[in-house]
Amino acid sequence: MRLSEEQALRQAEERLAELTDVSPRQIRSHSHSRLAGRIGQPDLIVEAGPHTFVIEFKRSGAAGSVAGAIEQAKRHAAAVGKRAIPLVVVPFMGESGKRKCEEAHVAWMDLSGNAQIFVPGLRVLVEGKPNRFKLRGRPSSVFAPKSSRIARWLLMHPAQAIAQRELAVAAGVDEGFTSRIVSRLEEDNLVVRETSGAIRPRNPGVLLDAWREVYDFGKHVILHGHVAARSGDELLRRLASTLRDRGVDHAATGLGAAWLYTRFGGFRIVTFYLRDEPPPALLQALSFREESRGANTWIVTPNDDGVFQDARHLDGVRCVHPIQTYLDLKGHPERASEAAAQVRLKIFDDSADA
């Protein structure tokens, strides 16, 4: 289902009447025409009882769109009046979008029935309603395996504006493909194009959040198994040594790589990307026994070779870039969420030092 903006705003009005327990006949809505030409107009202003909501509508609840909506809604609300409430409205709010709104202390509502509005005199929290606006078929994504090479390069060089043609070469994709992905990133408010035409991330943190929200480690081919070892660190180094000695193109990720980057926490599960599917002889050399229960070794054949971009050696172990490590931790157990937070800090500390 795809709504026009007019339909969406009408639904937002009706939904606010329900959430604030105000009769639809008591709802007053209008655009704030006196702001036009100076700072632009909010999409809609709704007066529901004692509350005045300044609405910014976006067609996507992804991190980039929501981040832009938050800025606009807050700016418009400040211009409308001291008590005006900025409200972000989307068809369906994603997890990263929710987090952005919470961090900015901005109310949000989606047209699928979910909402979080905590303001003086009103507390509304509705969760768990399914997305009513899913597109049929498999939607294209700027973070699909090949497409994500664009975002990966931009995140690895967040302060560098790059011409689109140069970006295509750097990411290893053709110019037409790059143009389509960059256009989508612009639509999602994730990149900016400078007057020269060069591209850079609008906000690297938002771009990374948008990618992580849709990232699925399970889309790679994962072989779960067990290798006898006294500790995760010993296992990590022994496997790395065997793979290196046998000339196998590899890189550690997940908890082991996070530990090498941050020295945060112990770990049991060791994960390696191998460029090619491992033959039985290699598994035997690794003393790898395939089993899911109690697995401490994950051997992964990636769905795109981009995961190896800018891999580096740490204490004798080749690891994927911290960005890839951060994404992959989403699919790991143990203390993966805490480890991911530490890796994220490293990503942006490194960017600041670059």
**Tens of pLDDT, residues 104-139:** 999 999 999 999 999 999 999 999 999 998 766 444
**Tens of pLDDT, residues 134-178:** 766 444 689 999 999 999 999 999 999 999 999 999 999 999 999
Q: What is the pLDDT of residue 174?
A: 94
The 3-class SS string of 45-96 reads EEEECCEEEEEEECCCCCHHHHHHHHHHHHHHHHHHCCCCEEEEEECCCCHH
Q: What is the pLDDT of residue 35?
A: 41
**Tens of pLDDT, residues 230-260:** 999 999 999 999 999 999 999 999 999 999 9
Q: What is the pLDDT of residue 33?
A: 42
Q: What is the pLDDT of residue 65?
A: 86
What is the band of 286 on the pLDDT scale with cuts at 50, 70, 90?
Answer: very high
In the structure encoding, which two tokens stand for residue 296, read together? 């401490």
- Nearby residues of 117 by Cβ (< 8 Å), 6 or more positions away: 19, 85, 87, 107, 108, 109, 123, 124
Question: Running DSSP on this structure, what letter comes out for residue 310?
Answer: T
Pairwise CA distance, residues 245 & 91, whole Å: 53
Q: What is the pLDDT of residue 271?
A: 98
26 pLDDT above the threshold of 80: no
**Tens of pLDDT, residues 184-218:** 999 888 999 999 999 999 999 999 999 998 999 99
Q: Provide the percentage of residues in the chain whose pLDDT is more than 70.
A: 94
The residue type of 180 is R
Read off the pLDDT of each residue in 301-308 and give the average, rounded to a whole number: 96
Mean pLDDT of the chain: 91
Q: Provide the percentage of residues in the chain whose pLDDT is more than 90.
A: 75
Q: Are 48 and 17 in contact (CB under 8 A)?
A: yes
Whether the pTM exceeds 0.95: the reply is: no
Percent helix, percent strand, percent coil in the chain, to nearest 5: 45, 20, 35
Pairwise CA distance, residues 224 & 258, whole Å: 19
Pairwise CA distance, residues 271 & 169, whole Å: 30
Pairwise CA distance, residues 352 & 71, whole Å: 23
